[in-house]
Structure 1
Amino acid sequence: MHRFIDYMTTKIGMADALRLVIASGGDPYAQSRDLLDAAIERLLDAGVATGEYRTGVLPDDVLIGLSGIALAAGEPSQRAQAGRLIDLMLDGLRHRSQA
C-alpha cells in the first residue's frame, strides 16, 4: 500500500503531461487502473480467505481510497500521515465478528 502512494504521487507530479494525453483523447489510466484493481482484488481475496478481511469490499473502492490518501498526504514530508491513513483504511477492511 505504501508503494501505491509513491506511485500515485509520481502520477500527480506528472499532472501537466497527463492532462495533455487526456486532451488528445488518450486514457493514461486505463491499463494501469485495470492492473491495480486486479492486484488489489488478489490482496482482498487472500485476506478474505484467511478470515482477516471482510467480504464484499470492492477493489475499486480501495483504489479510490488509496488515491485520496495520495492526494491528501502525498508529499514526502507527509509520509507518516499517509502511513496512519493507510492503517486506518486497513482497519476498516478487517473482519469483525458479529458479537
Structure 2
Amino acid sequence: MIFKEGVKIAGARPEIVIAMMVADQVYRELTGNEVTITEVTGGKHGTGSLHYVGAAIDLRIWGLSKAMLTKIVLEIRERLGENFDVVLESDHIHVEFQPK
C-alpha cells in the first residue's frame, strides 16, 4: 500500500483501515500492483463528507482500463459488504464506511 505524498491519515476509523487493507489486496491480486491511497481525512470534500470523520478513502485509478476498474470496484464491494459504499468516480475510487 502506498500513500500519496501529504495524505493525512490521523483520525481514520478502524473500519476504514480494514478497507485500505482489502483494497490493497484486491489491487495486488487483479493488477499486480499496490493500491495508492490519495485521500483519507484531509483534502477538500463536499459538506458532510465522511472523509472529515475518518470514514472514507480515495484510491488512485491511473492507467487502469474501465473493465479492470469495474472488476476492482465489484471485488472490493463484495469483500467489504453492505456497510461500505464503493463508487467509481471520474478520477478515483471512493470507499466509505456507512453502516446501513
TM-score, normalised by the number of residues in structure 1: 0.29
Higher helix share: 1
Higher strand share: 2
Which fold has the larger relative contact order, with Cα–Cα distance below 8 Å and residues 6 or more apart in sequence?
Answer: 1
TM-score, normalised by the number of residues in structure 2: 0.29
